[in-house]
Structure 1
Amino acid sequence: MTQSDPASPEAPPRAVDVCIIGAGPVGATLATVLATHGVTAAVVDSAPLPPMELPDFDGRAYAIALTSRNLLEAAGVWPLLPWAPGPIERIRCADGRPGESASRMALHFDAAETGEGPFGWMVEARALRMALNARMAALAHLTVLAPARAEVSRGPAGVEIRLSTGQRLRARLVVAAEGRRSPLRRQAGIGAASFDYHQTGIVGAIAHERPHGGTALEQFLPNGPFAQLPLAPTPDHPNASAIVWSEKRHLAERFLALPDAAYGHEIQRRMGDHLGRVTPIGRRWSYPLTAMQAARYADTRLALVGDAAHGIHPIAGQGLNLGFRDVAALAEMVIEAVRLGGDPGAPGLLARYQAARRPDAMLMLGATHALERLFGNGLPPLRLARRLGLAAVERMPPLKRFFARGAMGFGPVTGALMLGSGVAPALPRPDG
């Protein structure tokens, strides 16, 4: 990684193939994949990166699907995780109501039945940040500029980026990875359709008396799903899990304000007693639950990735993995273009990227929306239909395998980076 000193306005701009605006998990992963495979890249973020490496456990964690792990391996990030992540070996899906035992007509998935390895891994947010920062620091083809604000000018011939530090960049492609309120998306005049679920997502962690055995729970409740996700043991918390809890907004505000004992009681009412008594640990995080889909994923020398392009309900835990699928598709196209001496920001390449990613994201958005509508209510006829449906799928091995592979991130079009086969070794750059 190169961290340049501020340049005078007269200094020539630094030339890179790709400039990524936003150094969150999606933007930073794209930067590391590209630079690992010989593409010159710069990543710009308005916040300094080291403070993102929180020194203490804070309760946030990502569910990283098997295919997403393959991508992080290809980026050289996965081996740099500072401690082992928690594998998800089994998943149990059940319908219920707070304070009641879950229906016995449940759906169970076991990774051993697929022969592919774990469904995924639970990775603490700070661990992924530390690994990304370490990898970016080691890459000669990557320039990291943070904190810095970017002013971007795009045209058919290329992209000019002026930074608040006085530095200038010239790129052939700029990537918007700044999140749902992406300034670059708005600057390009790309509209976005959104849907408000009138729910709040509550994220955090719990300690519990009994070991989870690598099992994740998805509990479908009338006000929204509740997920318990297995974390790796630590000296302080040998039995711990992350939670993702969807709740009506007015109730979520009340629950978030409760003292730990009462808050833990509400968690236990939704999760059940299979892990014994639960105790909240770390911080409590919350955010409004909305769905979003950008009308286009590309414009002149611009590509949208991650939350700048789409947002889905967390009912399937696939939000970040969907962003990683954007990264893999775009990275493979850009790496190929640069190796062949082509233009990574060419209209044809961006059209292929949009054709590859927008239908997949729309399908995932539609599927998660349908699941939330089907499972997020307490009407008796629908509750019975849900339970019968889960029991039916449980007895249909081919359909179970299809859903299991979907949880691992496999889809109709899964590229080499996410399959773990990587891409061909980088060719020498003409400029050496």
Structure 2
Amino acid sequence: MNAMNAATPREEALDIVIAGGGMVGMTLGCGLADAGFRVALIDALPAAARTATRHDGRSSAIAEGSRRVLEGLGLWAAMAPEACPILDIRVSDARIGEPASSLFLHYDHRELAQDGEAAPPLGYIVENRVIREALVAAVQARPSLRHLAPASVTGFAAKPGRAEVELADGSRLAARLAIAADGRDSPLRTASGIRLAAWDYPQTGIVCTIAHELPHENVAHEHFLPSGPFAVLPMTDDAEGRHRSSIVWTERRERTAALLALEDAAFSAEMQRRFGMSLGRIALLGGRWAYPLRLQHAERYTGPRLALVGDAAHAIHPIAGQGLNLGLRDVAALAEALVDAKRLGLDIGEGEPLLCYERWRRVDNLLLMAATDLLNRLFSNDLAPVRLLRDLGLAAVNRAAPLKRTLMRHAMGLSGDMPRLARGEKL
């Protein structure tokens, strides 16, 4: 895959080539095009496939900092009508068929109110279909953003002053910088020779949407079960007025096939056993999707004429719902580094702009990867002494208001060295 033939690159005046037409790649492409860069976005799927429900039945948690990024790039308005605010998060330890522990952690957005102003929601739940539809429309509305789809990367080479990307049809693109936003199995990362540190969890993430009798009151629930976290995330009501929530169910891998083979009624009953009756009777809406869970981290985020963003650089456990948020923070940081370099007349494909981006994002990503991995290991077991200690820990954090506010702001993407977009400023 690393080999490049001797054909001449396409004669196009490109600044940046982005491999990957997912949510991170499209967001970055829109931001860079708006900043005056000439961008080509290489997408393995046609636009119609990207927006089909069967392509991705998941919903994503959009933290407040990420919402600001999307708003600053002019992308949030199209998603907002179908974005459900999260006002409270309740975290508890539980066993299947038993009441949740009386020792719990409750995050309430009102605790972040300052100077008499209402606090923003802790985040939003948005169907991936909605996000993709908004992004595809935004990509197609930007003349300086060339959308090549379907197309895929088969080779990469860093040359003096340019990056060359070879496509499956044998053509090549030349630009000052190539960006890999093409997912966990990134062909562009592989072609560049960047290695991974990775391991698979003995768990699978099962994702679906449910209807329930009672309104969710904008509360997200996370029950820690012995097999892994079981999250119930509030969604907007559907066109028929049904109350809906998104389920992110972490299950032991060896049990996944049997669960997915159940009839809808039996599958709904298994979910009911895990969550209880706090939302009344529940029923499956639509399909079910299963994703093997993996932790991985690229040995570096940049190379000559190359930068990695999103899942191409890092993939984490979904226990905290931060996967897309990390990718959007990458987008905000890289876009800022490249825009500042452009204003200063620097080469965007080497040196300080790329070093700045890597320094900025690597520590934040590593800390969250370590935290989610530790939480999953701590809570995905049924050892009595460990259960007692973690329940006491949840209760202690719940009573420590300053610590709880700090944790909430961090989960919202409103702490640390935030890019301009995450601070609500223009790029």
Instruction: Check the 8 A contact 1:14/1:168 in 2, yes or no.
Output: no
Letter in 2 for 1:278: I
**Separation in 2 of the partners of 1:305 and 1:331?**
11
After the TM superposition, which residues 272-351 of structure 1 pair with which residues of structure 2 at under 5 Å, given as runs? Answer: 272-351=276-355
- TM-score, length-scaled by structure 1: 0.92
Q: CA deviation at 1:338?
A: 1.5
- Deviation string, structure 1 residues 315-361 (Cα, Å, up to 9, x no partner): 11101111111111100001111222221112222112111111111
- Deviation string, structure 1 residues 122-177 (Cα, Å, up to 9, x no partner): 11111111100111111132111111223432223211234445654321110011
**Separation in 2 of the partners of 1:183 and 1:55?**
25
What is the percentage of aligned positions where both structures have the same residue? 48
**Separation in 2 of the partners of 1:59 and 1:213?**
23
Instruction: Check the 8 A contact 1:316/1:368 in 2, yes or no.
Output: yes
Segments of 4+ in structure 1 off by > 6 A?
Answer: 55-58
After the TM superposition, which residues 51-200 of structure 1 pair with which residues of structure 2 at under 5 Å, given as runs? Answer: 51-54=49-52, 59-81=57-79, 83-115=81-113, 116-150=119-153, 151-164=155-168, 168-200=172-204
Instruction: Check the 8 A contact 2:163/2:177 in 1, yes or no.
Output: yes
**Separation in 2 of the partners of 1:108 and 1:278?**
23
**Separation in 1 of the partners of 2:162 and 2:262?**
53
Residue 22 of structure 2 is matched in structure 1 by 24
Residue 430 of structure 1 is matched in structure 2 by none
**Separation in 2 of the partners of 1:233 and 1:402?**
31
Q: Number of residues paired by the alignment?
A: 415
Are 1:245 and 2:249 counterparts? yes
SS at match of 1:80: coil
Instruction: Check the 8 A contact 1:59/1:281 in 2, yes or no.
Output: no
Instruction: Check the 8 A contact 2:157/2:192 in 1, yes or no.
Output: no
Residue 275 of structure 2 is matched in structure 1 by 271
Instruction: Check the 8 A contact 2:57/2:129 in 1, yes or no.
Output: no
- Deviation string, structure 1 residues 171-211 (Cα, Å, up to 9, x no partner): 11100111111122222221111122110000111000000
Q: CA deviation at 1:220?
A: 0.7
SS at match of 2:188: helix
Determine which of 350, 354, 365 is the counterpart of 2:358.
354
**Separation in 1 of the partners of 2:362 and 2:166?**
30
Which moves more between the two structures, 231-240 or 221-230? Answer: 231-240
Letter in 2 for 1:38: G
- TM-score, length-scaled by structure 2: 0.93
In structure 2, stretches of 5+ residues that fail to align are 1-6, 114-118
SS at match of 2:248: strand
**Separation in 1 of the partners of 2:217 and 2:188?**
44
Label 1:210 to 1:301 Cα distance change in 2 as closer, same or farther (>3 A): same
- Aligned-residue Cα RMSD (Å) equals 1.7
**Separation in 2 of the partners of 1:327 and 1:186?**
21
**Separation in 2 of the partners of 1:333 and 1:408?**
22
**Separation in 1 of the partners of 2:238 and 2:150?**
33
Residue 41 of structure 2 is matched in structure 1 by 43
Instruction: Check the 8 A contact 2:103/2:392 in 1, yes or no.
Output: yes
**Separation in 2 of the partners of 1:268 and 1:57?**
26
**Separation in 2 of the partners of 1:11 and 1:415?**
34
Label 1:199 to 1:241 Cα distance change in 2 as closer, same or farther (>3 A): same
**Separation in 2 of the partners of 1:286 and 1:106?**
28
Which moves more between the two structures, 92-101 or 248-257? Answer: 248-257
Determine which of 398, 402, 418 is the counterpart of 2:422.
418
**Separation in 2 of the partners of 1:185 and 1:89?**
38
Are 1:225 and 2:225 counterparts? no
